[in-house]
Amino acid sequence: MQSRRKTELAKVEEGTSTELRKLLVARVAPLVKHIRNFARREESGRPNNADRAFGNIVLEPQPGGRVSGTLLSFVAVVLIPLAAILYYFTFVASDQYIAEARFAVRSLAEGVKSDDAEGSVLTMNAAGQDTYIVTSFIQSPELLRRIGLTVDYRAIFDREGVDFLSRFRISEPQEEFLAYWQRHVFTYIDGPSGIVTLRVQTFRPDDSKLLAEAIVRESEALINELNKRAQEDLIKSIRVEVERTAINYSETLNALREFQAKAGLVNPGMQAQSTSQLLTQLLGQKLEVESRMFVLSQSESQTSPAYENLARMQKSLNEQVAGLRASLTGEESGAVTSAILGYSKLETSRLIAEKLYETSRKSYDSAITASLRKALYLMVFVAPSMPEESLYPRRLSTPLIAGLGLLMFWATMVLVWASIEDHRL
């Protein structure tokens, strides 16, 4: 007996994968034959020799008329669960309808080219990343919170007539519903194209369409929020600079106006230049009058009417010239010079503030343009529609797969038990 056990152990340890496959076939084939013979025996009411052995497992009726454990295990592990599954999918399981939508997240910057480095940065596309943001948002509690403001989504999955295994009770916590939601709302991203496929599965066609439309609507709202936030972040610092330079420019203008009102001069420099030009004209007129007076003094008496008129004109010109010279070189010249210096400083400050304001304004406009070029939008090209027939549950394929799984599980357990029994010998 010990030598036999050692031999069997050696065979098991040295067995190859091919031998294991042969062993599996050798075990399963009698099993199938046994099931067929068992059915024939039940029909004829007579025992069959195939009932007496399955490999090394004894299938003969036990003393006292008891049925073998292998048959009981087959009924308990395979037949009863399979019958329950068939009954559920045939008579109990509720129809489920799927509404589908397809959309893509696109940027206006796509396909835009720029030769300079700055333009390349501004036209950078981030739509692929935002696509994953949208799909993650669809599976998040935040979406449920937003949808809950307009749609009673919990009641949709707790409709009257929905089977007890598929429905979700309203009294359950939100965390449990989120896991349930993720089993009924699916998103898939096509890698090369970035197209998002949304599928919503509920127990009524109109509910599926309603939820799909609400999800698409909230996804569009999220994209708009992302655009607004990105635009604000991009132009926030530039807007502050524009406001600062605008205030500075306004202050310099006010200071210049106050100076002009106080000095009584619009532009002291231009005023002095005008005075100099007028003085030059008066000096020329004075020289002309004196020349005419000299000519008359040589030919006529100085008491002649013509000479006296020229004399009065000369006197008037002398007074005007003296007044203008006094304003330029006398006591008033210091005030004029001071006014010119003060005006020049204020005018220089005004020009600098104006240039700074123009530069910051151009930067602000460029930032606005860049933010518009980087703006994202959700393009829906397959809108949610009303499903016409239920695609789930799979009333034939699901029980078939479950039955095969149960059979394989049971056969594996039988083989394991047979191996244990062989090692006991």
pLDDT beyond 90 at 304: no
Chain center to CA of 182: 20
Rounded mean pLDDT, 325-344: 60
pLDDT beyond 50 at 118: no
Residue 93's contacts (CB-CB under 8 Å, 6 or more residues apart) are: 163, 165, 166, 393, 395
Q: Name the strand (E) or helix (H) holding 57.
A: strand 57-58
Least confident window among 320-329, 345-354, 396-405 = 320-329
How does DSSP assign 159-214, residue by residue? -TT--TTT---TTS-HHHHHHHHHHHEEEEE-TTT-EEEEEEEESSHHHHHHHHHH
Binning pLDDT at 50, 70 and 90, where does residue 287 land?
A: confident
What is the rounded distance in angstroms from the CA atom of residue 130 to the CA atom of residue 124?
A: 13
List of E strands, 59-194: 97-107, 185-189
* 345 vs 407: which has the higher pLDDT: 407
pLDDT beyond 90 at 252: no
Report DSSP state, residue 304: S
Give the pLDDT confidence score for residue 229 in this predicted structure. 85
Dihedral of alpha carbons 47, 49, 54, 58, sign? positive
> Would you say 261 and 398 are in contact if contact means Cβ atoms under 8 Å apart?
no
Please name the amino acid found at residue 315.
K
Q: What is the bridge-based pairing of β-strands 97-107 and 376-382? A: antiparallel
Position of tokens 């300079």? 116
The number of helix segments (H) and strand segments (E) in the chain equals: 14, 6
Residue 403's contacts (CB-CB under 8 Å, 6 or more residues apart) are: 78, 82, 85
pLDDT beyond 70 at 166: yes
* 113 vs 166: which has the higher pLDDT: 166
Binning pLDDT at 50, 70 and 90, where does residue 37 land?
A: low
Mean pLDDT of the chain: 75
Tens-digit pLDDT profile for residues 205-224: 999 999 999 999 999 999 99
Binning pLDDT at 50, 70 and 90, where does residue 275 land?
A: low
pLDDT beyond 90 at 325: no
Binning pLDDT at 50, 70 and 90, where does residue 1 land?
A: very low
Binning pLDDT at 50, 70 and 90, where does residue 182 land?
A: very high
Rounded mean pLDDT, 224-238: 82
Give the pLDDT confidence score for residue 292 in this predicted structure. 74
**Which one of 24-38, 282-296, 355-369 scores highest in mean pLDDT?**
355-369
Binning pLDDT at 50, 70 and 90, where does residue 111 land?
A: very low
Structure-token pair, residue 169: 């009770």
Rounded mean pLDDT, 51-64: 44
- What percentage of residues in the chain have a pLDDT greater than 70? 66
SS3 349: helix
Q: pTM for the complete prediction? A: 0.58
Give the pLDDT confidence score for residue 142 in this predicted structure. 94
Q: Phi, psi at residue 382, to the nearest 5°?
A: -130, 100
Residue 211 burial class via C-beta count within 10 angstroms: exposed 0-12, middle 13-18, buried 19 and up: buried
What is the rounded distance in angstroms from the CA atom of residue 226 to the CA atom of residue 130?
A: 9
> Would you say 138 and 219 are in contact if contact means Cβ atoms under 8 Å apart?
yes
SS3 383: coil
**Which one of 177-181, 233-237, 271-275 scores highest in mean pLDDT?**
177-181
Give the pLDDT confidence score for residue 41 in this predicted structure. 47
Q: Phi, psi at residue 101, to the nearest 5°?
A: -135, 150
Give the pLDDT confidence score for residue 324 in this predicted structure. 63
Least confident window among 40-44, 72-76, 251-255, 392-396 = 40-44
What is the rounded distance in angstroms from the CA atom of residue 350 to the CA atom of residue 348?
A: 5
Three-state helix/strand/coil letters over 6-23: HHHHHHHHHCCHHHHHHH
CB atoms within 10 A of CB 382: 12
Please name the amino acid found at residue 143.
L
- What percentage of residues in the chain have a pLDDT greater than 90? 25
Give the pLDDT confidence score for residue 316 in this predicted structure. 78
Binning pLDDT at 50, 70 and 90, where does residue 176 land?
A: very high
What is the rounded distance in angstroms from the CA atom of residue 131 to the CA atom of residue 41?
A: 63
What is the rounded distance in angstroms from the CA atom of residue 216 to the CA atom of residue 228?
A: 19
| Domain map (residue ranges) of the chain | 2-93+395-424, 97-237, 242-372
* 401 vs 258: which has the higher pLDDT: 401
Tens-digit pLDDT profile for residues 364-379: 888 787 777 778 888 9
What is the rounded distance in angstroms from the CA atom of residue 300 to the CA atom of residue 382?
A: 112
